[in-house]
Structure 1
């Protein structure tokens, strides 16, 4: 393990100068500070040597995810993680970040500067700058719904999305549905790619036909619904699985506006089981992921890494929550509709 003296010797500066840079003192230049921090990261320096009474600190790094209120998606992750970390003697900070912030400060440098032992990372897309940093990071890190291979310091947690999709397709098949479509957010995130692939695998496993045009993806929910849902209806789809609950709710509203009964004419399934699902009209059948348990898994994976147990992925079981947006397949397809957005 590198020491402050090792860093000073490498750079030809004093031990005090290195200490000032690491502790964010104001009386050295930003250029020198950056050089020292980058070198410290490269040499594997860590600030884990703490006085006995100095609490160890974790951070939950979060982007593109609301988390401050109980009904918001990220809230339960934080609660679950804290329920495990704080009784174990850790202080847990929640740090919202942006893409611009990531571009300015490398991940390991941020963690070193702020004296964090490890991080639980929520809401990142594949294009986030720190996703590249994670490939070579030596900071214990747990990613939700992302995956970095071949780095023993990085673990991943999530639900078994293949199992969840298989539960959804099997449920619809038992109800007599054969023509099933899939609506998704844009495939720019790891988890959207996983769920997209899992849909086609689940259809094949259930002996159901699914061609490329059985799925539609768009960045914006409204565009996804307006572009792809009429196409599905014109193809005679009697059921639609959605990559998350917001798309599913929007799809139900749009179907009803077009004169389709849910579930009389078309069945719809969501993914995640957000609090809103019990209050949609009709209440939404969906695949549940227990976010409090996932938060606890985040701590478990972190603790394992800190104890030199290299965790790759932890997947918890999915659960299908049956409500009233799914029902028996109709005997005959309903009228066709016209898309508001031309095919591209």
Structure 2
């Protein structure tokens, strides 16, 4: 790691000026502060934890709701804070907007705000900072994303392959052999993982698996209009697995509007077990993610990185929650 003196030597300024710039002193111009921070990042400088001092972590969140208890990100953040704050950390929640990511590099942002590490939620593959993470030196743990070959980066999530295997096995036990798959657009790591897991699970179960049995779109309405009728009428599926619960709920509503009964005519399985799943019509069979435990796992992984333990991926077991949206296949 570079030292403050080495940064000062590179820029031809005093060590005290560098220290002031790194700590946001008011008598340092914005231009000089930006230059010092960018040079520090380039040279690999990062602030160390000091016993008894302020220790700050952040949750960087994009493309995910989190402010209300029923929002997907709420329990992820709660679990992380439940572990981090008793351990003496201050946790700040930072919306990682497009404007923020475009204005500063990830490492520079973390250094500028005294964050020792980050728990990163909701990033898509197109988010600008995803390009920074492979070479970043600031510890971070990504939920449902993966960065290879960087010992400063870790990943947490549930075992999505296990979850998909549970879903496919459940439907096969009920007699379903024609199973379709509907997904959100494949511009996120986790949507790609779940889609591939669907094909792998179908093949392991000895069931027919083909592109014609799938459909994906950025928009749920488009998915329902274009792909659901094709699965029901052309492919004659008797069951559909969905990449997340919102698509599954939309599929149940659309099927019923098309005079298909759930689950008598078509069985539907979701993914995530959002609070709404117990109250859909009928209640939705789904794969549960324990988001509180995932948040706690995010802290465990980040603390490992901060202690120099290069943890890679931490996966929790998936759980099948059987409700009333799945049933024995009917050949009437």
* TM-score between both structures, scaled by the size of structure 1: 0.94
Partner-residue secondary structure (3-state), 2:135: coil
Q: How far apart are the structure 1 equivalents of 2:168 and 2:137?
A: 40
Write the deviation string for residues 238-258 of structure 1: whole angstroms up to 9, x where unpaired: 000000000000000000011
Q: Show the counterpart of 2:236.
A: 236
Pairwise mapping of residues 269-280 of structure 1 onto structure 2 (< 5 A)?
269-280=269-280
Q: How far apart are the structure 2 equivalents of 1:133 and 1:75?
A: 26
Q: Show the counterpart of 2:48.
A: 48
Q: Is the 8 A contact 2:49 2:55 kept in 1?
A: no
Q: How far apart are the structure 2 equivalents of 1:102 and 1:313?
A: 25
Q: How far apart are the structure 1 equivalents of 2:98 and 2:319?
A: 33
Q: Show the counterpart of 1:78.
A: 77
Q: Show the counterpart of 2:6.
A: 6
Structure 1 residue 2 displacement after superposition: 2.1
Q: How far apart are the structure 2 equivalents of 1:73 and 1:160?
A: 18
Please identify, of 177-186 and 6-15, the stretch whose mean Cα deviation from structure 2 is larger: 6-15
Structure 1 residue 169 displacement after superposition: 0.3
Write the deviation string for residues 91-126 of structure 1: whole angstroms up to 9, x where unpaired: 111111212210111000010010011000000000
Number of residue pairs matched by the alignment: 331
Pairwise mapping of residues 18-97 of structure 1 onto structure 2 (< 5 A)?
18-50=18-50, 52-97=51-96
Q: Is the 8 A contact 2:49 2:116 kept in 1?
A: no
Partner-residue secondary structure (3-state), 2:115: coil
1:319 counterpart = 2:319: yes
Q: Show the counterpart of 2:100.
A: 101
Q: How far apart are the structure 2 equivalents of 1:227 and 1:26?
A: 57
Structure 1 residue 15 displacement after superposition: 1.9
Write the deviation string for residues 267-312 of structure 1: whole angstroms up to 9, x where unpaired: 0000000000000000000000100000011011011111211111
Q: Show the counterpart of 1:155.
A: 154
Q: How far apart are the structure 1 equivalents of 2:100 and 2:224?
A: 33
Structure 1 residue 55 displacement after superposition: 2.5
Structure 1 residue 19 displacement after superposition: 2.2
Relative distance call for 1:49 and 1:330 in structure 2 (3 A) is closer
Relative distance call for 1:49 and 1:203 in structure 2 (3 A) is closer
Q: Show the counterpart of 1:121.
A: 120
Give ranges in structure 1 of 5+ residues lacking alignment: 333-344
Partner-residue secondary structure (3-state), 1:2: coil
Q: Is the 8 A contact 2:102 2:128 kept in 1?
A: yes
Partner-residue secondary structure (3-state), 1:70: coil
Q: Is the 8 A contact 2:174 2:328 kept in 1?
A: yes
Structure 1 residue 29 displacement after superposition: 4.0
Q: Is the 8 A contact 2:183 2:242 kept in 1?
A: yes
Pairwise mapping of residues 323-338 of structure 1 onto structure 2 (< 5 A)?
323-332=323-332
Partner-residue secondary structure (3-state), 1:117: strand
- Spell out structure 1 runs of 4+ moving beyond 4 A: none
Give ranges in structure 2 of 5+ residues lacking alignment: none
Partner-residue secondary structure (3-state), 1:201: helix
Q: Show the counterpart of 1:307.
A: 307
1:288 counterpart = 2:308: no
Write the deviation string for residues 1-22 of structure 1: whole angstroms up to 9, x where unpaired: 3222210001111223212321
Structure 1 residue 27 displacement after superposition: 4.0
Partner-residue secondary structure (3-state), 1:39: helix
Relative distance call for 1:239 and 1:49 in structure 2 (3 A) is closer
Please identify, of 199-208 and 323-332, the stretch whose mean Cα deviation from structure 2 is larger: 323-332
Q: Is the 8 A contact 2:167 2:320 kept in 1?
A: yes
Q: How far apart are the structure 1 equivalents of 2:72 and 2:55?
A: 27
Please identify, of 78-87 and 30-39, the stretch whose mean Cα deviation from structure 2 is larger: 30-39
Q: Show the counterpart of 2:257.
A: 257
Q: How far apart are the structure 1 equivalents of 2:53 and 2:123?
A: 31
Structure 1 residue 23 displacement after superposition: 2.0
Structure 1 residue 25 displacement after superposition: 3.2
